[in-house]
Structure 1
Amino acid sequence: MSDITIWTYDWVPEGPRGFVRDLRLRWACEESGLRYRVKTVPFKDRQTNHLGQHPFGQVPMLCDGDIELFESGAGLLHIARKSEALMPGDERQAAKVVQWIVAALSSVEIVTIPWWYIEKAGPSENPLSGWMATRLDQLEAVLETREWLVSDRFTAADLLMADVLRDDKICDFGSRPATQAYVSRAVDRPAFQAAYDAQMEHFSSSSATD
């Protein structure tokens, strides 16, 4: 019996809708067939109004019974360990899933996020483009050899890696057909579409916040 609560903001501007990271946890629950509810903290004063739940004033947070977690990666790992839909039962393959989850966060997202913000600011040259190209080329070399990262099937590692890459600016940076096809396979999954639609509906039905 699942007792999962995903915490997110009550509202966000249109720009980040579809990319707020509670979507990672919604997607994981949809893939795993786990029921969940959504609760919110106010977007206004968000940096200080829920420090007891998240010491950095961000979202998402996850509650499952008496387990309380912050950070999307931690929540994703918790959900994945509840279902073989996202985490193989074989210990060696499960370890590889964890390996690629960590890689998505600490080897790929560590450059994609600052690169994206610099691109948004609009300088003529992005000083992180070389680093970004190297990391994406390295990942492209892996994805040219396989459909999914581990066990020849979709796992939590693919959920997170695809979410890190799916922004158009990132996915379209350079020509990497294997990576683009990989992201397309992931976001074409019904579970992603359900999670995405649920997040968009949540924020569009909320009242605007100053």
Structure 2
Amino acid sequence: MSTSHKLIRQSYEARTGGSGKQADAMTPAMTAFERSPDGGKGLARDTRVRWALEEVGQPYEVRLVSFPAMKEPAHLALHPFGQIPTYEEGNLAIFETGAIVLHIAEQHAGLLPKDADARARAITWMFAALSTVEPPILDLSTARIVEGDKPWARERLPLVMDRIRVRLGQLSARLGDADWLDGAFSAGDLLMVSVLLRLRMSGVLGEYPNLAAYVDRGEARPAYRRAFAAQLAINAPAS
């Protein structure tokens, strides 16, 4: 395994001053960027896993992985597509952010309702965030960063923005004046807020005041603040 792997322990109890669960041999481990492309602004998908673990009060370890190490056999054995995050707990090793967050939510109280119908709706919102709302938002990044120098880029960008606005308009109408998507905060909100955060720099989120306020509520949650701070600390410039 590459020497660019580093292991750190994230202790819920140490950061909160509470009586959180003690880390032991079964403490789950996740992977995160050694240097995040966003500089630790919370947009990398490993932040979503951190946030979920913080919400349920589960201690965890983080294995920091460099870009070259992501393509090495050791990491490909965990994630066949050479990406992050991955998640290991005992003999279980899984990948894909949505699957990891769902696993955490199913194993610990706090991210899924106890009522079966409400639980199903929360899981539906998880899928909606990743499968319906996020794809056009990711397309915006592609249009600006990957395809920005193409001769047809200026013509394509308005089409991408139109698709984003369609989704935001639909989501805004459904959310209305509610705090969260379906009653109390759930894993569905965690993923939806994480997805919408990618739009902050574009300014388009401000066109939908209730969605902007929704994202603000997500960012204000103590668990999100801890996850964000942990990710930012890793990416802080060396003194």
Length-normalised TM-score, structure 2: 0.79
Partner residue, 2:193: 162
Question: Does structure 1 residue 178 correspond to structure 2 residue 210?
Answer: yes
Question: Does structure 1 residue 60 correspond to structure 2 residue 91?
Answer: no
Partner residue, 1:80: 105
Contact persistence 1:6–1:38 (CA under 8 A) = yes
Q: Kindly state the Cα deviation for residue 117 of structure 1 after the two structures are TM-superposed.
A: 2.6
Question: Does structure 1 residue 5 correspond to structure 2 residue 25?
Answer: no
Give the letter for the 1:96 counterpart: R
Match of 2:143 among 118, 135, 157: 118
Contact persistence 1:171–1:179 (CA under 8 A) = no
Partner residue, 1:37: 61
Report 1:84-163 matches (<5 A). 84-120=109-145, 121=148, 123-125=153-155, 126=157, 127-150=159-182, 152-163=183-194
Tell me how far apart the structure 2 counterparts of residues 48 and 36 of structure 1 sit (CA, whole Å): 23
Tell me how far apart the structure 2 counterparts of residues 14 and 146 of structure 1 sit (CA, whole Å): 30
Q: Which has the higher helix share?
A: 2
Q: Kindly state the Cα deviation for residue 196 of structure 1 after the two structures are TM-superposed.
A: 0.4
| 162-171 or 88-97, larger mean C-alpha shift | 162-171
Tell me how far apart the structure 1 counterparts of residues 90 and 170 of structure 2 sit (CA, whole Å): 40
Q: Kindly state the Cα deviation for residue 69 of structure 1 after the two structures are TM-superposed.
A: 0.6
Partner residue, 2:226: 194
Contact persistence 2:47–2:227 (CA under 8 A) = yes
Q: Kindly state the Cα deviation for residue 191 of structure 1 after the two structures are TM-superposed.
A: 0.6
Give the letter for the 2:31 counterpart: W
Contact persistence 1:62–1:68 (CA under 8 A) = yes
Tell me how far apart the structure 2 counterparts of residues 88 and 171 of structure 1 sit (CA, whole Å): 33
Length-normalised TM-score, structure 1: 0.89
- Structure 2, unpaired ranges of 5+: 1-20
Give the letter for the 2:219 counterpart: V
Tell me how far apart the structure 2 counterparts of residues 37 and 206 of structure 1 sit (CA, whole Å): 22
Structure whose CA Rg is larger: 2
- Report the 3-state secondary structure (helix = DSSP H, G, I; strand = E; otherwise coil) of the residue aligned with 2:76: coil
| 117-126 or 31-40, larger mean C-alpha shift | 117-126
Q: Kindly state the Cα deviation for residue 16 of structure 1 after the two structures are TM-superposed.
A: 5.9
Q: Residues 39 and 206 from structure 1, CA distance in 2 versus in 1: closer, same or farther, beyond 3 angstroms? A: farther
Per-residue CA deviations over 1:151-209 (Å, capped at 9, x if unaligned) read x21111100000000131356346101100100000011110100000111233679xx
- Report the 3-state secondary structure (helix = DSSP H, G, I; strand = E; otherwise coil) of the residue aligned with 1:38: strand
- Report the 3-state secondary structure (helix = DSSP H, G, I; strand = E; otherwise coil) of the residue aligned with 2:93: strand
How high is the sequence identity, in percent, across the aligned residues?
A: 36
Tell me how far apart the structure 2 counterparts of residues 129 and 172 of structure 1 sit (CA, whole Å): 9
- Report the 3-state secondary structure (helix = DSSP H, G, I; strand = E; otherwise coil) of the residue aligned with 2:107: coil
